[in-house]
Amino acid sequence: MFAFATSQRQAKPAGRRPRPAGAGRAAPRGWRGLALKAGAVLSAFALAACEPSGGTGLAGGPVTGQQIDPRQPIQVALLAPGGTGSADLEWLSRSLKNAARMAAADAQGASIDLRIYDSGSSASQAVAQANAAVNDGAKIILGPLFAESANAVGNAVSPHNVNVLSFSNNAEIAGGNVFILGNSFANIASRLVGYGVSQGKRNIYVVAEDDVAGQIGGRAIETAIARNGARLAGRSNHSVSISGIDAVSPQVVAAARSGQVDAIFMTGNNQAALPYLTEKLTAAGVNPQTTPFMGLTRWDEPAARLRMPQLQNGWFALPDQNLRNQFISRYRAAYGETPHELATLAYDGIAAISSLARAGKRDAVQSSGLTQRTGFAGVGGIFRFRPDGTAERGLAVATIRNNQVVVLEPAPRGFGGFGF
């Protein structure tokens, strides 16, 4: 039977202290499913854009990382996925490197000694480069990209008391000395469910793909429903195939017609599966204007989706586009090409460290400093690291109307009352 071509979204990370089994986004194409296709400042990009505004750190466990002298250069090792021979990964690697250089150059009042290491796409190469970086004197590691590699690097450098700011969005490998800069399912789900509740959409039905990433996403949505005071109205799991979607569509439609469902939250991102699922539902009479479809992924990319009738009026989350466009313009002027979507993560990581150092913080690369409560203003909006190693990012809620992206609620500019 015909099945949709998958993007190899799932792969299990290596074991890491007590870590839940299973994880999405660990292989190169796993990231492509959510982030490479998805597309994550202030005052002319001065480092003041990332200045912490004071406050104490979030409550957490033991402090990890080393104290530094903020008056001296801080050696930061960037592990970028270069040297693979893949055109996509080389572009991504180049974008991460250039964005990190931009942030280091912007570090007015702080000095960043940026060292760059090509870590490829394998965990073994990432570990080798991380060990080399620590031997060279790195105080903190920025990267690597893939969850399996970040997991392995975290274990490798933990005995040296070095923290890792990974570009992964996989919350399952976060914790201890590993922080993730990527936008996690939990963060996206919480933003959308919270907005839904504010609009009176409290009864939420979940439709999840049955692969590893889909199940992680489904759990994140259910957790967000509970935390935001909403109600789980039901859940259907389907394989990433025509037959799988055909099998669950009737029960989703029946639930939507029951009067007990206010919104339908989908994990799907597959190039063909998401349009097919939403088309099946709208063809059966489910109206996204009254029963909104929510999505864990960017529904506006690729751009062809904007013209799909079944995706009109769906809700999704995205970074502050004004800030991101400023970053893109500046990057293009400096390097003559458009940066990869994930380039903003490298800028944010360097900028957060720089702002803490500029404020005279000896714990600028320690967990106590990185998790300071007020967070940072990055090139895609506000963000902060949580004690569990995940990143909480301020996102806008958007929809598609008349083939155009329309922001329903802008990204917040501060964390007061916002978040988990």
State whether 141 and 266 are in the same domain.
no
Residue 269: per-residue pLDDT:
74
Residue 237, in any domain of the structure: yes
> Rounded CA gap, 295 and 366, in Å?
34
pLDDT < 50 regions, the chain = 1-3, 5-57, 59, 417-420
Residues 199 and 311 placed together within one structural domain of the fold: yes
Does residue 9 lie within any of the structural domains?
A: no
Q: pLDDT tens digits for 179-224?
A: 999 999 999 999 999 999 999 999 999 999 999 889 999 999 999 9
The closest of 275, 256, 276 to 206, measured between CA atoms, is 256
Cα–Cα distance, 229 to 148 (Å, whole number): 34
Residues 338 and 270 in one domain: no
CA dist 287 and 338 (Å) reads 37
What CATH number is associated with residue 347?
Answer: 3.40.50.2300
In the prediction, which pLDDT does 377 show? 86
Residue 196 lies in a domain: yes
Domain-located, residue 160: yes
Give residues with Cβ within 8 angstroms of 237, minimum separation 6.
Answer: 207, 208, 209, 210, 214, 215, 218, 248
Cα(46)–Cα(201) distance, rounded to whole angstroms? 40
In a domain, 6, yes or no: no
Residue 109 lies in a domain: yes
Q: List the domain range (segments joined by +) for residue 233.
A: 186-318+397-409
Domain count, the chain: 2
Verify that 254 and 401 share a domain, yes or no.
yes
> Which residues lie closer than 8 Å to 325 by C-beta, 6 or more apart?
none
| Pair (267, 402) in one structural domain | yes
242 and 295 inside one domain: yes
347 three-state secondary structure: helix
Judge if 229 and 171 occupy the same domain.
no
Whether 176 and 325 map to the same domain: the answer is yes
**Are 257 and 403 members of one domain?**
yes
The answer to whether residues 338 and 281 belong to one domain is: no
**205 and 347 co-located in one domain:** no
216 and 348 in a single domain? The answer is no
Instruction: Note whether residue 19 is domain-resident.
Output: no
Q: Is residue 384 part of a domain?
A: yes
Q: Is 80 helix (H, G, I), strand (E, B) or coil?
A: strand
